[in-house]
Amino acid sequence: MSKNAPAIVGLLDTNPVQRLQSFHPDFRDDIQKFVTKFSAAHDLAEAFPGLLFALSTGAAKPSQRNKAKRALASGAPLKKVAEAIKLPWWMRRLPASAFVEPMVSFPDDADFHRRLATLVPTDDASAGPWLKGVNLSLEACHPAFALWAAGWLARQHRAIGLPETEEHLWLLAAWAWHANQPTTVGHRLIRRMWTPQISLRRALEELSGWRQRMVLATLLDAESGDRWLTPGSALDYEFVPLISADDFVLESEKMSNCLDQYADRFARNFSRIFSVRKSGRSVANVEIGLDDQDGRMPAILQLRGPRNRRTSAELWRAVYLWLGSQPLKPRTAMSTRLDPEKLDAASQNIWAPYLEGLETSGRDTAFRLSLNAARVRPRRLARKPQPRRGALPTVNGEQALELTNDRNQQDLNSVSPEGGSTTRSTRRVSRQLTPRVPTEST
């Protein structure tokens, strides 16, 4: 071999065309053209697939790619060639099948790459979804989150490629991003901020509550402002409507219940919530909805005290007196429906800061799709309980008016990547990806 030959160790007895078949079909033609035009890159498919992918698909600046090609043709070490286009050296450990989307820009941080190199999966099947998740985390959040996500993605070998995993990752990235944005509504609604030390299970639990609050804020913003009933008083009790998401969050904290997780009621414009106060202190919450038998007139659906306790007869009497003093009017089914256009506008408004950041990388459309794939489960007034396993409560933006309590929906614990029944070990891994949500009161 001449001195100017590339310093590449490859399987020279393997058909070069066959080696290129390992790359994703969307990029195979570009790679084939590059290899045909630049003969020095023939063995990169075996020696450093990521470097061949980067040079063939336009990663880095043209001047950097030209420098890399000159170094490759002159027989420079592959590490020097990779440095010319700022390609991390740990990518040499990834197979050709791992590169399923254009490369993203990685931070110029030696410590970041040193830590990420220790998290690269050892099996080829997990490498692609893992790299895709790291890319998403970098562009949807920040490097610290990307390292955190890379850690648990590397451990979730069986569930790493499931669509549900990517949806959870999107929402986790949004939650972590808002934790560093104190001027946003999303930051104000977070119960516990994301940190690199938080476990995946705890993160999913916190995400569950945050997501419900975000949906509640969206629905309240879209709501017309019709409280159905007017504020008032009876027997020294005051009845104050809860109007904003901040009202619900504050009341939930005062009363130790799950009012802040009440988005499903407003998704169907099903009821209104009032705080019952005495001497300025919250003593109960009353839910006003449509009467089960009439279907047109307001009625008391629930009346609960602190921590979901029963209330006194005097308080029930006060509620009935207040309700009886209202100028009641029949409500038709159409009058209780939210305006879809207002709902879309409210959703755009609350997510605008995050979507603006995603537009730079072109990932805003993917995030919108992840929101549209989500659902909200109905929830009653309940004290804050010990969490249990359940499905991630999220919302379908454009179909929020059609949400139902689909308790028969299959989730990660019952469906395998191939569509069949999961093994015990698969169910164990899948459960780690599903959050715990508060129990419902009966």
Q: What is the pLDDT of residue 226?
A: 63
Q: What is the pLDDT of residue 1?
A: 41
Residue 115 domain flag: no
Q: 411 and 326 in one domain?
A: no
Residue located via tokens 């959040």:
141
Q: 240 and 207 in one domain?
A: no
Amino acid at 252: S
For residue 241, give the CATH number of its domain: 3.40.630
Q: 366 and 330 in one domain?
A: no
Q: 78 and 37 in one domain?
A: yes
Q: What is the pLDDT of residue 262?
A: 76
Residue 69 domain flag: yes
Ramachandran sector of residue 425 (left: φ over 0; alpha: ψ -120 to 50; beta: rest): alpha
Q: What is the pLDDT of residue 418?
A: 38
Which of 288, 318, 336 is at the close of a domain? 336
Q: 397 and 361 in one domain?
A: yes
Residue 287 domain flag: yes
Q: 162 and 81 in one domain?
A: no
Q: 97 and 12 in one domain?
A: yes
pLDDT mean for each 10 residues of the chain (442 residues): 41 59 91 89 90 91 92 92 94 93 90 95 90 93 95 81 81 95 94 94 92 88 73 93 89 89 68 90 90 76 91 93 83 64 86 88 78 48 42 35 34 36 37 36 35
Give the count of domains, the chain. 3
Residue located via tokens 């219940």:
257
The CB density around residue 167, as the number of other CB atoms within 10 Å, is: 17
Q: 82 and 6 in one domain?
A: yes
Q: What residues contact 295, with CB distance under 8 A and at least 6 apart?
A: 333
Q: 157 and 210 in one domain?
A: yes
Q: 371 and 344 in one domain?
A: yes
CA 268 to chain centre: 23
Q: What is the pLDDT of residue 303?
A: 93
Residue 112 domain flag: no
Residue located via tokens 């570009």:
30
Residue 146 domain flag: yes
Instruction: Tell me which residue range forms the domain holding 321.
Output: 232-336
Residue 118 domain flag: no
Q: 440 and 376 in one domain?
A: yes
What whole-number distance in Å separates Cα of residue 294 and Cα of residue 333?
A: 12
